[in-house]
Chain A
């Protein structure tokens, strides 16, 4: 039955997390690798994303941290000589790479079989014209569409089809370069942009306002087909499915509609010839059964990961097995273990997915939701009513909201109609506000075209709020109303706020009063299982959720002091993503290995930690105080681990501790000592450890006085932000004034923290593990960029290559002092500034940090395993390796997603902007750097480069680079100042004028738009408005026209050195385990 010729395969990963391609592919890839391993197939994984679970030794047999591009993959093929390759598990990145390998004849040349869906089928779904033609052959409707390769043809097509229209770029990720237009002017703009991503664009009829429905379809080689799940978008067509709230299963489709689309899905998958999994997206007319097929993804996708989590059906695992030749009926349902995998899950709950946006992190970005994706993560909420699921979900997103209602102190929406008409990331709250202002369901439907069923459910939540606020004390609140509120997903917080109505400062004690009150009335939630068959067959599943819509627990609780709860990291967001999933999963693994039962709480469908195979019990539920207490009440665990999931669990430490929840590792008081700026600062003073001067201030006068003392630049951290970034560095009085009046708010209630900002300082990170205050393992790494670039956006080198021994010695000493003072047990991270051996502490986190997987993997010492053992108080071996013994270097590089964030200024600063990262290993710094930067999408320029080098120090930094490029016959285009500076130093460049200049010289923007340069180096200078705007235009156009952009002088010079000194042909292709 299975293809025995396949003994060794290459699996392509998806690289760094980016908007449109995130952690879901770690989950898919890990599942596929597990399936392959089970069949005895030797697996070679290519994925530079070092923070993933899949790049772990126990998951893949061999791992290459290399770019997922045809060039590099061919090198690995030549070395490894595999029998097969899997293209469907690494998102669009892997798929595109696979198509390249196929088109370049590399697969044929090396006689490699594609495991699963054939490449031709993939190409057929990717090229919209071929796709539409194929579907026409089987009488399946697609939107009327014309493929165009010039803007003139696009205009012609528009005339034929009539406005409004949608423009799409072919072969792109998650709707990149697409949008709606309603006149020729808008068409021109959109088309020009779309052509920058793809040589082919599509002009299509607009079916805006139709329902959007997706099916996940599976097919085996015997032509057996199933649809595992269907999903319905809350937002009608016009908003990218990645930007939309999505429910599973569909809620507003009749049986006829459901099965009409299901039958079409199967017809399509058969025609295309998928073996494995694919996703079919439909538009469905809300007034008839008319439909269009919008898209087919012949690979695992974000939706398939969601569908797997929504149903318990492991799509990627099954798809990999089908690729090897199994039939669906020959595989078992991995939840029940007794029934077959050839079935369609029956759900007895409802699932709601909500995207997570981080648009506030970006300067200038457009917040309107549309046909391209901007969200950086998502959550999934499970309930037995829609009201329950959506309210849970809104809290899970982590934007500080408490549910559908009860957010009045957090969000103010004035232009309700505008928000409803032009949806932004606040759309759901605009609906709440609309109800509040007397809008009817019908009126909201008129404006939004969101199906009335959803709006009616939301209006139920709103109506209940109105009933709750009629009462003022818990004692007078009727019991059945309280129970109904819990069934509709109201949290204790919401109930406290709506009923008790005390000022926000009392809310934390009030919500505990609500909790005590309802417990005294016996109002507590129950635990239900997800078993794929709605209870039809007995299942020993450990996949659980919490609900008030039920009266019986599905599981029993063993109170034997053997279970340990790990709190996960929640929605992926800027600043917290797959690296914390790696930490959580490794903690869980260690807990299991040590003979304890592991219990995971997390709600991010894109993770491995929410794979029910990972732990002994998975609670797919909220990480709020209320829910964690609910679960702890039932499980009565030996302890809880808060240090693996980033800041969300860390923030719960004190409150859980006060409720008597046992916390493993560093105590809650000590965590508070590190988190509380004043306490931490006082401690550093006591320890005689230096830190940048800072002060927490409440008036502009005080701020001015402090700045006079420490001098510019200073770092400003307001506690209340009006718009834009939460943190900023300001260099002069004007900027300071501007920031404090326009962007932030200063008052007694909203103090501002001002810190001295040290320029040209190195930033150094210590990731370490301690037990009872003694450091037992550590790793020190350095940033390539000078301080001022957020550590999440920095290029990080480990082991450090350019630190003084003296610096390292002093950092170790200070770290020991801090570990001892905070009596640390478990993982921690300290960030330092170093200038001429002068060391200052910037920050200390008593939890795992973003860089733990990176240093653990480069060091080949699992710091999380050691940390977990330390917390469990079980014996462990102290690693004997030190960072000086490594004969190789690891470099971690950030991945930005600016191309998806319309109008955002692509610069790095003190607030984090990157959405992901990669890390590669090399024989030396430059080799590792080059591989890393190529992995995040940089391309090596061959002949031309544009440099505008900003401030003097940037010019100096780039002088040698320019010289090297000149020696290699590069044409260097430079803006005025840079041109002159280089000229004075004997380097000839072509002078180009700034975007706003209009003279005989070539304009920088023309260079970019006509693709006359292969790379843009633009070092921002923060002086005049004019330079800021010119710089912005250059950077933004580089992004929009897809030309590699570097904005940091130190990174630019390192990159140029690397491309000049290294020959790609001579770089040794080595797997991770070959670096010894």
Chain B
């Protein structure tokens, strides 16, 4: 068996065993603490450029589901391919068991040329990332040395986004979706609510389109890379049509509103983030995956914080005080993770409906 190591930019070297594709790769090393949902997470475009560390040690248990297409999108995956750069776990289940499984996780990684390492002390690794912040790292196979690579210096959104306009569904409300690396479940959540979704590339000038509501999706990397998108959103804000954003969409809406964003030390990547709806006692458990956030104190006066993270008080969403614009840092569409905030899609569609009939 070829020797393989995970090397971090701080000099940490951990030897592991390969269960994926044998290829040296480099990226940003981040950890996530969810205990289920690796097929969903691995295909989440927000992970583009990242080497993912699973804190839950037993991975691969239920294999990888059948690749079915429903309403033009993959039924069990969040996009059409694995987006992570590499996967680091502690204990790999060679045998898997599930009625819906097609193949093992290892075979899936191999088929998409993604390396995977097991037999690594992922708790040790997590503690390093927690103390030092997300680090650059590389998975190096014997006699295949490579350089470190910082994905945040490239425009990851451009990589993760679509390059053409695609329409989904056939509902009454026309939603323009600015794809910065959208997860399929956002599309599913919208089209099951009587909408037609027009998915456009991240830099597409959607302001020229006819629509009832605007949706800003999740996506990878630094929001500062998306100047063009922010410019377009500024135009949309000047109009009155409802806007909803998720994750990177939250940051882009914030930037368009005039607020600032910053990089979190090691981000939120888990299924158990508590967020409080401002001004209430309603606290929700949410699924998250982000490394950047809005600096709440920089929000202009016509905007306000919508949700706040109860653990570290970071921003979890914003809204306009008078207009139908809101966004969340967390993922109401979940997949993977808890679905407790899916009602926010209802709120969005409700305001789209109101806005449309008001005209």
Q: Using CB atoms and an 8 Å cutoff, list the residues of chain A in contact with chain B.
A: 222-226, 249-255, 258-259, 262-263, 266, 286-288, 327-329, 338-340, 342-350, 384-386, 441, 451-453, 456-457, 459-460, 526, 528, 533-538, 549-552, 554
Contact = CB atoms under 8 A, between A and B. Distances in A.
8 tightest A-B contacts by CB? A456-B95, A255-B37, A534-B55, A453-B97, A346-B33, A535-B126, A255-B336, A329-B283
Contact of B62 (A254, A340, A346, A459): A254
Nearest to A350: B58
B61 A252 contact: yes
14 contacts: A224-B281, A252-B62, A259-B337, A266-B340, A348-B55, A348-B57, A451-B97, A452-B97, A453-B95, A453-B96, A534-B126, A535-B123, A535-B130, A551-B121
Given A259-B337, A453-B62, A342 B310 contact: yes
A460 B91 CA distance: 13
Contacts of A339: 310-312
Contacts, number: 174
Given A456-B93, A456-B94, A528-B123, 8 more contacts: A251-B58, A255-B40, A339-B312, A346-B34, A385-B58, A385-B91, A534-B123, A535-B130
A327 B274 CA distance: 13
Interface centre among B65, B90, B96, B273 (most CB of A within 10 A): B90
Interface string B111-148: 00000000001111011001100000000000000000
Interface string B33-75: 1111101100000000000000111100110010000000000
A506 B272 CA distance: 51
Given A347-B35, A535-B123, A456 B97 contact: yes
B301 to A, nearest CB: 27
A226 B285 contact: yes
A284 to B, nearest CB: 11
B274 A254 contact: no
A949 B80 CA distance: 80
B57 A536 contact: no
Contacts of A451: 97
Contacts of A384: 57, 90-91
Given A226-B285, A343-B274, A452-B95, A552 B124 contact: yes
Interface residues of B, number: 55
B276 A343 contact: no
A59 B127 CA distance: 37
A254 B271 contact: no
A252 B97 contact: yes
Nearest to B272: A344
A347 B123 CA distance: 11
Interface in B300-359: 310-312, 334-340
Contacts of B58: 251, 350, 385-386
Q: Is the interface of B mostly helix, strand, loop or mixed?
A: loop
Contacts of B91: 384-386, 549
Contacts of B130: 535-538
Given A328-B283, A343-B274, A346-B271, A255 B36 contact: yes
B311 A223 contact: no
B251 interface: no
A226 B275 CA distance: 12
A809 to B, nearest CB: 62
B57 A253 contact: no
Contacts of A456: 93-95, 97
B56 A534 contact: yes
B333 to A, nearest CB: 12
Interface in B191-244: none
A776 B144 CA distance: 73
Contacts of B14: 551
Nearest to B58: A350
Contact of A259 (B31, B39, B283, B338): B338
A346 B337 CA distance: 12
B56 A255 contact: no
A1050 to B, nearest CB: 56
A344 B61 contact: no
B11 to A, nearest CB: 15
Contacts of B121: 526, 549-552
B270 interface: yes
A254 B283 contact: no
Most buried by A among B36, B98, B334: B36
Nearest to B100: A254
B99 A287 contact: yes
A254 B98 contact: yes
Contacts of B339: 259, 263
Q: Which of A339, A343, A345, A538 has most chain B Cβ within 10 Å? A: A343
Q: Which of A327, A342, A535 gathers most chain B CB within 10 Å?
A: A535
Nearest to B336: A255
B212 to A, nearest CB: 29
Contact of B122 (A253, A348, A385, A452): A348
Contacts of A348: 33, 55-57, 122-123, 126
B282 interface: yes
A550 B57 CA distance: 11
